[in-house]
């Protein structure tokens, strides 16, 4: 085992030919996670400085990448290099145990980074209506669905959509899904507590006054919310770019004007 560790350390060290694989892989992993909107919670304990937190998240990804490369060479030594000499069942068993521990640890941190809420991006995240006389789409409100996958309730301190164009915030209230009773559906009143395993709908109107409410025609919506970000309990959950907005509005228009067969 000491020889295997020495072999893996030598191949992973900074003087090895492939030492730059880990920093490159770590940076790439961090960028892909940020781009995909996957929250990383490694840096929550640090001061609320985006540069410091982002740097720490990238550092964690780089360290994980180094660990992956180290154990790759460890397994390589155990199953390829070592087998050319003789098969050592204890070394093989130890290597398999190490692989299982690494996979389980990586899975744990990945699952932890997702947080308590699983967001349903398959559900429409904007409610709309079709203005037939104008042949336009009217965006009525934001609607985002999530599910509390943990066994503890979640207290909502804030939930809002922020325009990345005008910096306007649209506050959102939570409605709980009620499956029991004769009329299952979303609760009519809002709440700031999501029960354990509860499914909920975050609902945000452009104008909160129910007596004088109108949505935004798609052209106006693009001007004001052509790119926006969704925050839950002060944490960025997902960014919606202009391409995302355009794609959804096109689908709304196609579905609204599709002629029945």
**CB-CB contact of 154 with 116 (8 Å):** yes
- Work out the angle between the directed axes of helices 50-76 and 21-35 (0-180°, nearest 10): 130
Residue from 76, 87, 68, 82 nearest 21 by CA:
68
C-alpha span between 248 and 250 (Å, rounded): 5
C-alpha span between 255 and 149 (Å, rounded): 32
Residue 95 vs residue 120, higher pLDDT: 120
Region 96-105: what's the mean pLDDT?
Answer: 78
Under the banding of pLDDT at 50, 70 and 90, the label for residue 207 is confident
pLDDT, residue 20, reads 61
Residue 103 vs residue 8, higher pLDDT: 103
pLDDT digits (tens, 9 = 90+) for 18-53: 556 666 766 676 666 656 555 555 666 666 666 777
C-alpha span between 161 and 118 (Å, rounded): 17
pLDDT, residue 124, reads 77
Exposed / middle / buried, residue 160 (Cβ in 10 Å: 0-12, 13-18, 19+): middle
User: CB 46: neighbour CB atoms within 10 A?
Assistant: 12
Q: How far, CA to CA in Å, does 215 sit from each of 79, 131, 240?
A: 63, 11, 19
Q: Which of 84-98, 164-178, 217-231 has the lowest mean pLDDT?
A: 84-98
Residue from 251, 242, 239 nearest 221 by CA:
242
Model-level pTM greater than 0.85? no
Region 75-99: what's the mean pLDDT?
Answer: 64
* Dihedral pair phi/psi, residue 104, rounded to 5°: -65, -40
pLDDT, residue 261, reads 45
């Amino acid at each position: 085992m000491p020889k295997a560790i020495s072999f893996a350390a030598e191949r992973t060290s900074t003087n090895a030919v492939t030492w730059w694989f880990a920093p490159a892989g770590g940076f790439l992993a961090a960028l892909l996670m940020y781009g995909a909107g996957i929250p990383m919670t490694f840096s929550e304990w640090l001061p609320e400085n985006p540069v410091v937190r982002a740097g720490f998240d990238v550092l964690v990804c780089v360290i994980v990448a180094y660990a992956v490369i180290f154990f790759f060479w460890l397994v390589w030594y155990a199953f390829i290099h070592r087998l050319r000499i003789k098969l050592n069942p204890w070394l093989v068993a130890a290597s398999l145990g190490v692989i299982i521990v690494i996979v389980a640890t990586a899975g744990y941190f990945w699952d932890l980074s997702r947080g308590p809420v699983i967001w349903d991006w398959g559900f429409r995240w904007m409610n709309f209506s079709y203005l037939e006389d104008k042949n336009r789409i009217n965006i009525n409100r934001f609607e985002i669905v999530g599910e509390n996958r943990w066994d503890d309730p979640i207290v909502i301190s804030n939930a809002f959509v922020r325009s990345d164009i005008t910096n306007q915030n649209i506050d959102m209230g939570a409605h709980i899904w009620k499956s029991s009773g004769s009329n299952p559906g979303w609760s009519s009143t809002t709440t700031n507590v999501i029960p354990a395993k509860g499914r909920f709908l975050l609902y945000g109107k452009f104008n909160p006054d129910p007596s004088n409410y109108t949505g935004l025609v798609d052209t106006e919506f693009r001007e004001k919310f052509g790119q926006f970000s969704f925050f839950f309990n002060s944490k960025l959950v997902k960014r919606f770019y202009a391409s995302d907005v355009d794609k959804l509005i096109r689908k709304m228009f196609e579905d609204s004007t599709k002629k029945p067969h």
